Amino acid sequence: MKRISGPAERVVVVGAGLAGLAAAAHLTGRGRSVTVLDDREGPGGRASGHQLDGYSIDTGPTVLTMPGILGDTFAALGEELGDWLELTRLDPAYRALFADGSHLDVHTGAEAMAEAVRAFAGPAEAEGYLRLRNWLSELYTVEFDRFIASNFDSPLSLLSPQLAKLVAMGGFRSLDGAIGRFLKDPRLKRVFSFQSLYAGQSPRRALALYAVISYMDTVGGVFFPRGGMGAVPTALAAAVAKAGATFDHGDSAASLEMSGGRVQAVRTAAGRRLPCDAVVLTTELEQTYRLLGRIPRRLVPLRPAPSAVVLHAGTVRARTDVAHHSILFGEAWHRTFDEIIGQGTLMSDPSLLITRPTATDPALAPAGHDLYSILAPVPNLDRGRQRWGALGPRYADELARHVQRRMMPGFTAEIDRTFLLTPDDWAARGMVAGTPFSYAHTFAQTGPFRPANLVRGVENAVLAGAGTVPGVGVPTVLLSGRLAADRITGAGR
Cα 70 to Cα 29, 219, 231: the distances in Å are: 15, 17, 12
Average pLDDT, the chain: 96
| C-alpha 296 chain-centroid distance | 24
Q: What is the mean pLDDT of residues 312-340?
A: 96
Q: What is the mean pLDDT of residues 346-361?
A: 98
This prediction's pTM:
0.97
The lowest-confidence range among 109-113, 326-330, 421-425, 443-447 is 443-447
| Position 159 pLDDT exceeds 80 | no
pLDDT in tens, 411-441: 999 999 999 999 999 999 999 999 999 999 9
Cβ neighbourhood burial of 492 (10 Å; 0-12, 13-18, 19+): exposed
pLDDT band per the 50, 70, 90 thresholds, residue 321: very high
Q: Report which of residues 198 and 258 the model is more confident about.
A: 258
| Position 292 pLDDT exceeds 90 | yes
| Position 490 pLDDT exceeds 90 | yes
Number of neighbouring beta carbons within 10 Å of residue 485 = 32
Q: Give me the pLDDT at residue 197, please.
A: 85
The H-or-E segment that residue 406 falls in is helix 388-406
Burial 155-170 (b: 16+ CB within 10 A, else e): eebeeeebbebbeebb
- How far is 430 from 426, CA to CA, in rounded Å? 7
Closest of 280, 282, 285, 253 to residue 269, by C-alpha: 253
pLDDT band per the 50, 70, 90 thresholds, residue 17: very high
Q: How far apart are the first and last CA of the chain?
A: 13
Q: Report which of residues 297 and 42 the model is more confident about.
A: 42
Q: Give me the pLDDT at residue 313, please.
A: 98
The strand ranges marked E within 316-358 are 325-328, 352-355
Q: Give me the pLDDT at residue 152, please.
A: 85
Cα 463 to Cα 188, 284, 320, 483: the distances in Å are: 38, 10, 44, 9
| Position 493 pLDDT exceeds 90 | no
| Position 158 pLDDT exceeds 80 | no
pLDDT band per the 50, 70, 90 thresholds, residue 199: confident
Q: Give me the pLDDT at residue 299, please.
A: 76
Q: Are 230 and 44 in contact (CB under 8 A)?
A: yes
Closest of 266, 265, 256 to residue 289, by C-alpha: 256
